[in-house]
Structure formats: structure tokens, C-alpha cells
């Protein structure tokens, strides 16, 4: 009888492992460590064996495992969407129509619900709204999301939002929560900074609510001095640091990120050649958000130059009702290839292993290797290059997070809060 905790993914046409150095840089980004006719053996939440199907199927433990036949398909590490906004607000549909008619894009557009109304909504309802998006991300192959909560620096709403993010962990995806700090409409910089520091004081005794603090820098956000003060305060409280470029102070954003040792700096549509060189010589990851550039009609980051100069590049969706309404990392990968001139293998590595490094989890997820967490996705394609080629189409057949099937094409979604996603149908046969 098969042992329940053992799963044997058998016979992938292409098994992308991404074994090797992390983060990937330069030519390394093109090395997917691909195994043809590859298989994976999972024991509980961990990967125990990776290799050719002939070798794995002859192992004694493989003979005891439940089999998922992935013949003819591509298996790769679960996508790590390192930047998704915690979405409670409805989309600004009227503003969308105005933009179609020619109105200018505003970075800080608001959704149809404000933090004041979020305070009045029961946490269970907020969780259900947010879970909808994380489940759809899982259906597109994501197993981990960096969930950014940005509730206009209103204390009660910020804490409530981060608690909702915490409650979503493992249901269905792994969550790395981030406290996002910007200058909300109606507040000037000094008052916004004051509020940000007040929230940080509160979060200092609640470090389990988020692992990182991200500060937005630009003319419509914080200046360098204010951003530095907020980030130094966050670092003193033990949080990882991130910066989000508004597009008009890109080089200053990069320099501050390197000065403070930020784990990532995001967007980078107008980065200079000098700043690219600085970033390439650092440990800070360049987090690129092609979906944001597409939706905001702003310049795409120079991904090709960043990679060629040796910067560590990662991809994320940048999903949020106003920032970018696309939650699909395959679509972000397609945009990265078509608009930013990354090769398919580079874009896939950027959305998996390098994205895992950007959220501080590269030693645990982002590649398919023994002793790592069993996070992977199966695409119903014969070649990994089909993933970016067929844009706007979901070809994800199966998503596994921590050894559990959390999505299967054609199957109903798991119940909210279910701890046994293994009940999702398995395509098992000998």
C-alpha cells in the first residue's frame, strides 16, 4: 500500500531543478539545471530525491509512494511572487474608464474601499477577499507570495491587514508579509513619517506579523532623508529592508538600498548605467515588476542590461487593484521576455530562485533539490519556452506547496482554512 506522505512525481519531459548557486547572475541565469525524463520523490513537506526517472523509480521508497504521472509535462520550482499587494479594495473601475479616455495615470490612485472602511469589515471577510487572489496566484503556479500590506498608515487598519496576511500563511500558499510604507493622499511627508514610525513601534513587539518593511521613495512618496530614517528604525527592530522606486528618484533609491543593505529594490524603470554597476556589485536584488510598467504605462526596467552587467534580477507580478491588476507570474514572465528582452530561462530563474533570495528564503525554496521544501508546479507544455510564449493563457496543471496539492486544473478549490489539501485529486497510477 502506498505511504500517504510519499509522493512520486514521475516522468517529467523536462524537470527544471535550478540546482546550484543563488542568486543566479549573468550567464548563471540561463542555467536551469534541467533533467530530461526527470522525477522527484517527496516525503511529507520535503524533497528527498531528484534525478532521472530510471534512477528514482528503482528506489525502494519510490515503490511505496503515491504516483503523480507528469509524463509529457514540464515540472519546475513553484513560482515565488515576491510582491503582491494585500487586496481588500475593489478596483477603481471609473478611474480605469477615465484612463482609457485619456486621463493621466496617477501612482497613488485609490481603490473603492479605504482603510477606514476596512476597519469595519470582519477579519474573516477580509481574509476571504485576500485569499481569492492568493488562490488564483496558486492556480498560475505560485507557491509563495510576498504579501505587502499598505493601509495608508492607519494603525488599526495596518495591524489588521498584517494579521490577515499572517492568517493566510499556508492557505493555500506560503506567505512572507511586508509592511509597505508610502505617503497616503491627504498627508504630508512629516505626518506620514510620524505615522510610519508609530506603526513600527507597534510592530516591534509583533515581529511575527511581517518580516520586512518596504519604503516608497520619490517625489510623490518619501524623500531620501525620510526614507532613511524609517528604514533605520525598521532595521533596529530586526526587520529586513526593501525600497520601492516611484520612477523619478531611481538612482537615489538604489544608492539608499545599497547604503542600508536592503534585500531588494523594486521597479527601476529609469535606472542609470552608473546605478546598474553599483547594483551589480552588491547583494541587493533588483526586483522587476513588468506588470506594473504595463498597467501604469511607465518605462520597463532595463532587465537585459542589468543581467548582462551581473546584477541579481528577480521578477514579481506587483499585483494590486491599482498598482497592477495582474496576479499571473507566467504573464509577468512573458512580459519580461517580450518587453524586457530576457530569455525564457532567465525569466523563469528570476521568478523562482532569485525571487526566493529576495524574500530571504533562497535556502528553503526556489529550486528542486533534496532537503528543500517540496514546492513545485507542473505545466501542461512540452517545453518550458511555451510558458512565456503562450501569454494570457493558464497552462498550469498542478501546484504543490510543502508536499500538498493546492491546485489541480479542473478541480474545485480547497475549502478555506483546510489543513488537508492532500485530498485534492491526484493523477495516480502505476
Q: Enumerate the β-bridge partners of residue 15.
A: 35, 75
Q: What is the CATH number of the domain that holds 389?
A: 2.30.40.10
Cα 149 off chain centre by: 14
- Quick one: 4 exposed, middle or buried, by C-beta within 10 A (0-12, 13-18, 19+)? exposed
How confident is the model at residue 50, as a pLDDT? 99
Non-local (6+) Cβ contacts of 67 within 8 A are: 2, 7, 8, 10, 428, 429, 430
> What pLDDT does residue 92 have?
82
Residue 121 sits at φ, ψ, to 5 deg, of -90, 130
Would residue 190 count as lying in a domain?
Answer: yes
In a domain, 418, yes or no: yes
Tell whether 428 is covered by a domain. Answer: no
Whether 311 and 274 map to the same domain: the answer is: yes
Assess whether 50 and 85 both reside in one domain: no
Say how far apart CA 47 and CA 10 lie, in whole Å: 14
Q: Is residue 401 a part of any domain in this protein?
A: yes
Are 346 and 211 contained in the same domain? yes
Q: Same structural domain for residues 383 and 241? A: no
Q: Is the dihedral of CA 316, 318, 319, 324 positive or negative?
A: negative
Please indicate, yes or no, whether residues 371 and 324 belong to a single structural domain of this protein: no
Q: Check residue 222 and give its pLDDT.
A: 97
- Residue ending a domain, among 358, 382, 402, is 358
Buried b (16+ CB within 10 A) or exposed e, 112-136: eebbeebeeeeeeebbebbbebbbb
Residues 217 and 302 in one domain: yes
Residue 138 located in a structural domain: yes
* Cβ atoms of 244 and 263 closer than 8 Å: no
Cβ distance 70 to 11 under 8 Å? yes
Show which of 358, 377, 403 is a domain's final residue: 358
Tell me, what's the pLDDT at 8?
Answer: 98
Is the residue at 28 inside a domain? yes
Please indicate, yes or no, whether residues 119 and 83 belong to a single structural domain of this protein. Answer: yes
Domain that holds residue 372: 3-78+366-423
Question: Residue 188 burial by CB count (10 A; 0-12/13-18/19+): exposed, middle or buried?
Answer: exposed
Query: What is the rounded end-to-end Cα distance, in angstroms, of the chain?
Result: 12
Q: Which residues pair with 10 in a beta bridge?
A: 69
185 to each of 67, 108, 221, 223, how far by Cα in Å? Answer: 54, 7, 10, 16
Do residue 184 and residue 324 come from a single domain?
A: yes
The whole-angstrom separation of Cα 315 and Cα 320 is: 15
Kindly report the CATH number assigned to the domain that includes residue 252: 3.20.20.140
My answer on whether 224 and 136 are in the same domain is: yes
Domain boundary among 310, 331, 358: 358
Q: Do 349 and 417 lie in a common domain?
A: no
d(CA 2, CA 93): 51
Kind and range of the H or E run holding 143: strand 142-149
Q: Please state the domain count of the chain.
A: 2
Q: Is residue 348 part of a domain?
A: yes
Is 69 strand, coil or helix? strand
The per-residue pLDDT for 423 is 37
| Residue pLDDT tens, the chain, 430 long | 566 689 999 999 999 999 999 999 999 999 999 999 999 999 999 999 999 999 999 999 999 999 999 999 999 999 999 999 987 767 888 888 998 998 876 655 544 445 556 777 888 888 998 999 999 999 999 999 999 998 888 888 899 999 999 999 999 999 999 999 999 988 999 999 999 999 999 998 777 899 999 999 999 999 999 999 999 999 999 999 999 998 889 999 999 999 999 999 999 999 999 999 999 999 999 999 999 999 988 999 999 999 999 999 999 999 987 788 999 999 999 999 999 999 999 999 999 999 999 999 999 999 999 999 999 999 999 999 999 999 989 999 999 999 999 999 988 877 676 544 443 434 444 4
Same-domain pairing of 85 and 180: yes
Q: What is the pLDDT of residue 413?
A: 78
Residue 430 lies in a domain: no
DSSP code string of 168-231 = TTTSSSEEEEEEEE---TT--HHHHHHHHHHHHHHHTT-GGG-SEEEEEESTTSB-HHHHHHHH
Residues 243 and 254 grouped into a single domain = yes
Amino acid at each position: 500500500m502506498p505511504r500517504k506522505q510519499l509522493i512520486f512525481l514521475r516522468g517529467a519531459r523536462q524537470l527544471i531543478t535550478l540546482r546550484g548557486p543563488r542568486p543566479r547572475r549573468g550567464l548563471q541565469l540561463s542555467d536551469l539545471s534541467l533533467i530530461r525524463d526527470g522525477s522527484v520523490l517527496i516525503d511529507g513537506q520535503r524533497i528527498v530525491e531528484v534525478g532521472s526517472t530510471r534512477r528514482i523509480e528503482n528506489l525502494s521508497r519510490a515503490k511505496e509512494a503515491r504516483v503523480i504521472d507528469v509524463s509529457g509535462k514540464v515540472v519546475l520550482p513553484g513560482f515565488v511572487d515576491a510582491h503582491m499587494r494585500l487586496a481588500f479594495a475593489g478596483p477603481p473601475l471609473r478611474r480605469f474608464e477615465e484612463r482609457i479616455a485619456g486621463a493621466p495615470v496617477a501612482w497613488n490612485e485609490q481603490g473603492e474601499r479605504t482603510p477606514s472602511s476596512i476597519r469595519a469589515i470582519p477579519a474573516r471577510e477580509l481574509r476571504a477577499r485576500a485569499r481569492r487572489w492568493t488562490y488564483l496566484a496558486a492556480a498560475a503556479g505560485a507557491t509563495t507570495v510576498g504579501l505587502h500590506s499598505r493601509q495608508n498608515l492607519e494603525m488599526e487598519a495596518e495591524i489588521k491587514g498584517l494579521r490577515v496576511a499572517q492568517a493566510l500563511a499556508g492557505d493555500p500558499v506560503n506567505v512572507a508579509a511586508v509592511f509597505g510604507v508610502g505617503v497616503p493622499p491627504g498627508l504630508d511627508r512629516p505626518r506620514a513619517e510620524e505615522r510610519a514610525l508609530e506603526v513600527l513601534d507597534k510592530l516591534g513587539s509583533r515581529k511575527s506579523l511581517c518580516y520586512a518593511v518596504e519604503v516608497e521613495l520619490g517625489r510623490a512618496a518619501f524623500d531620501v532623508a525620510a526614507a532613511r530614517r524609517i528604514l533605520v528604525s525598521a532595521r533596529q527592530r530586526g526587520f529586513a529592508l526593501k525600497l520601492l522606486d516611484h520612477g523619478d528618484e531611481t538612482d537615489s533609491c538604489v544608492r539608499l538600498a545599497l547604503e542600508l543593505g536592503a534585500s531588494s529594490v523594486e521597479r527601476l524603470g529609469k535606472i542609470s548605467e552608473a546605478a546598474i554597476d553599483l547594483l551589480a556589485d552588491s547583494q541587493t536584488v533588483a526586483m522587476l515588476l513588468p506588470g506594473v510598467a504595463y498597467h501604469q504605462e511607465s518605462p520597463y526596467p532595463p532587465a537585459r542590461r542589468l543581467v548582462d552587467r551581473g546584477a541579481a534580477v528577480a521578477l514579481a507580478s506587483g499585483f494590486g487593484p491599482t498598482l497592477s491588476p495582474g496576479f499571473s507570474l507566467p504573464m509577468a514572465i512573458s512580459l519580461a521576455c517580450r518587453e524586457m528582452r530576457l530569455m525564457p530561462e532567465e525569466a523563469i530563474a528570476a521568478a523562482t530562485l532569485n525571487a526566493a533570495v529576495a524574500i530571504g528564503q533562497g535556502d528553503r525554496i526556489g529550486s528542486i533539490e533534496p532537503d528543500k521544501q517540496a514546492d513545485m508546479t507542473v505545466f501542461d507544455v512540452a517545453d518550458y519556452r511555451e510558458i512565456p510564449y503562450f501569454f494570457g493563457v493558464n497552462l498550469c496543471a498542478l501546484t504543490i506547496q510543502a508536499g500538498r496539492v493546492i491546485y489541480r486544473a479542473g478541480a474545485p478549490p480547497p475549502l478555506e482554512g483546510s489543513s488537508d489539501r492532500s485530498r485534492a485529486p491526484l493523477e495516480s497510477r502505476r
